[in-house]
């Protein structure tokens, strides 16, 4: 088995439009942690310009913006034929605005304040909806997991995994950068009711490290395990 190569071939390009520095910074950091390549602009005019110039995979769009209101950005973006999925952020929690946003071409809508994990989950759902089969594949460097076919490749070569090894790997890769507790991983494999087969998990982790790379899964002592996000700026996969 080849050494795990650190690449960003799986990176999604995302445009973040938010004029609040603190919130914008927090969202950008969270997105980058889960491997999105983020371009952040702080007003509506720049947002429209960016959407004209670049093909993004997703857009996160605040509504209250300087220069051009987010709703106007949305309308104009759809007018110029931008098909990119757009998730709208708004402080205005009324049904009227909700429907207004969706009518104007938003694909999803979140009301501030929101939980950043929920934002990430919604974005993943948007990816799945709009990219179909493509996003059934989770990529991490030279590893690719097909979550429909339940197959794994590394350097484009198939890797034989037991079902439970597959589930552990998938859970860790879906939550890159987030430490998964032993309990979370065990629940994921055996369901909520199970007795803790306490060393079974260690065996799966051991096997995954052996089959891929010793450094793939990091032990966080007393807590659980994590797959660290790939470092930014490293060369493409193969």
Binding residues for Ca ion, per CB under 5 A?
19, 62, 64
Closer residue to Ca ion (CB): 112 or 128 = 112
Q: Which residue minimizes CB distance to Ca ion?
A: 64
Q: Check: CB of residue 188 under 8 Å from CB of residue 225.
A: no
- Give the nearer residue to Ca ion in terms of CB position, either 2 or 66: 66
Distances (CA, A) of 159 to 17, 54, 150, 165, 198: 40, 36, 11, 11, 25
Check: CB of residue 22 under 8 Å from CB of residue 49: no
Minimum Å gap between C-beta 24 and Ca ion is 9
Shortest Cβ distance from residue 186 to Ca ion (Å)?
Answer: 42
The residue among 57 and 62 lying less far from Ca ion, judged by its C-beta, is 62
Nearest approach, Cβ of residue 64 and Ca ion (Å): 4
Kindly tell me which of 46 and 169 has the beta carbon lying closer to Ca ion: 46
Closest distance to Ca ion from the beta carbon of 136 (Å): 35
Q: Identify which of residues 17 and 152 has a Cβ nearer to Ca ion in the complex.
A: 17
**Would you call 96 exposed, middle or buried from its count of C-beta atoms within 10 A (0-12, 13-18, 19+)?**
exposed
Q: What backbone torsions phi and psi does residue 149 show, to the nearest 5 degrees? A: -80, -10
How far CA 79 is from CA of 48, 56, 83, 174, in Å, comes to 11, 16, 10, 35
| E strand spans, 33-72 | 37-41, 58-62
CB of 86 to Ca ion, least distance (A): 15
């Amino acid at each position: 088995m080849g050494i795990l190569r650190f690449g960003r071939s799986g990176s999604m390009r995302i445009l973040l439009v938010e004029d609040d520095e603190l919130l914008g910074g927090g969202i950008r950091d969270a997105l980058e942690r889960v491997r999105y390549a983020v371009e952040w602009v702080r007003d509506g005019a720049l947002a429209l310009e960016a959407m004209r110039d670049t093909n993004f995979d997703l857009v996160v769009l605040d509504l209250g913006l300087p220069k051009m209101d987010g709703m106007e950005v949305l309308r104009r973006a759809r007018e110029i034929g931008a098909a990119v999925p757009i998730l709208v952020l708004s402080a205005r929690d009324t049904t009227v605005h909700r429907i207004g946003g969706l009518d104007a071409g938003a694909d999803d809508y979140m009301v501030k304040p929101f939980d950043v994990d929920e934002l990430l989950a919604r974005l993943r759902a948007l990816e799945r909806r709009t990219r179909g089969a493509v996003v059934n594949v989770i990529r991490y460097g030279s590893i690719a997991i097909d979550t429909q076919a339940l197959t794994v490749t590394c350097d484009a070569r198939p890797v034989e995994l037991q079902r439970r090894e597959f589930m552990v790997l998938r859970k860790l890769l879906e939550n890159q950068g987030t430490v998964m507790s032993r309990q979370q991983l065990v629940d994921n494999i055996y369901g909520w009711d199970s007795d803790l087969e306490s060393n079974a998990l260690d065996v799966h982790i051991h096997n995954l490290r052996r089959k891929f790379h010793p450094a793939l899964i990091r032990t966080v002592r007393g807590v659980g395990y994590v797959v660290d996000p790939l470092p930014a700026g490293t060369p493409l996969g193969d």
